[in-house]
Amino acid sequence: MNASSKKRLDFSARAEREYLESIAYIAEDSLVNAALVQGRIGNALELLINFPMMGAKGRMPGTREYAVPNTSHTLVYRVTAEAIRIGHVMHQRRAYFNR
């Protein structure tokens, strides 16, 4: 896949808020761990840009889920013709469909 055919990455307002809150929560305990999780999520997002179908079929219709390695986070997303839309950055101990 060449760079021009890569999909755009979009975050919903909810996903952006969940991501920022999660990193801030981890940083309260450890800035090093927060940076590690931030980097791992960033790496996972890069993988999704290159391989958007790599996540498993999601629990909600039309979604996919990717458990970020070595974190407690799952990216819940939809793939459209133009973009990969991150709908949730879910901590694995929370159920996003109960919010």
- The sign of the torsion formed by the CA atoms of 18, 62, 39, 36 equals positive
Is 3.40.50.2300 the CATH classification of the domain at 3-94?
no
Taking CA 45 as the corner, what is the angle to CA 14 and CA 99, rounded to the nearest 5 degrees? 25
DSSP at 82: S
Q: What is the pLDDT along the chain (99 residues), one digit of tens a residue?
A: 444 468 899 999 999 999 999 999 999 999 999 999 999 999 999 999 999 999 999 999 999 999 999 999 999 999 999 999 999 999 887 654 444
